[in-house]
Amino acid sequence: MDLREKDVGDVRVISLSGALSGENADPLRAAVGRALPRPGRIVLDLAELGGIDRTGVGVLADLRDQVKQSGISLKLACLQILPRSVFNMMKVCSLFEVYDTLPAALESFRG
């Protein structure tokens, strides 16, 4: 898994590509950790995330809880077909705010 980070206003956008599993999640944990001291919000852009396993979903759930405890919002954008099928199989879609596009996720913070 690879990731890129950028700020769009007060929103930290972390874009993931490749596949997310428990074994390669440390860079994501570190990126979210860097965003926590800042006031604002986090969007995980999953447009290029081609795969995720059960452990990877667990990592996202843990990060969601960690961010929530810090008073920061975490939203997902562009969840692709294969990762979405894992989310559906695990029945965890309702745990996350998921948006079809990155602009829709960013706009959700303004409303």
Instruction: Sketch the domain layout of the chain as residue ranges.
Output: 2-101
CB 76 within 8 A of CB 102: no
Side chain identity, residue 99? Y
Cβ atoms within 10 Å, residue 36? 16
In a 3-state reduction of DSSP, which class is residue 18?
Answer: strand
Per the CB < 8 A criterion, the answer to whether 106 and 75 are in contact is no
Q: In this structure, which CATH number among 1.10.246.90, 1.10.287.1080, 3.40.50.1370, 3.30.750.24 belongs to the domain 2-101? A: 3.30.750.24
Mean pLDDT of the chain: 93
> For 23-62, how does the pLDDT look when each residue is reduced to its tens digit (9 = 90+)?
999 999 999 998 887 767 999 999 999 999 999 999 999 9
pTM of the predicted structure, to 2 decimals: 0.94
- Express as a percent the part of the chain with pLDDT over 90: 84
Find residue 99's DSSP bridge partners.
77
C-alpha closest to that of 16 among 50, 58, 41, 42? 50
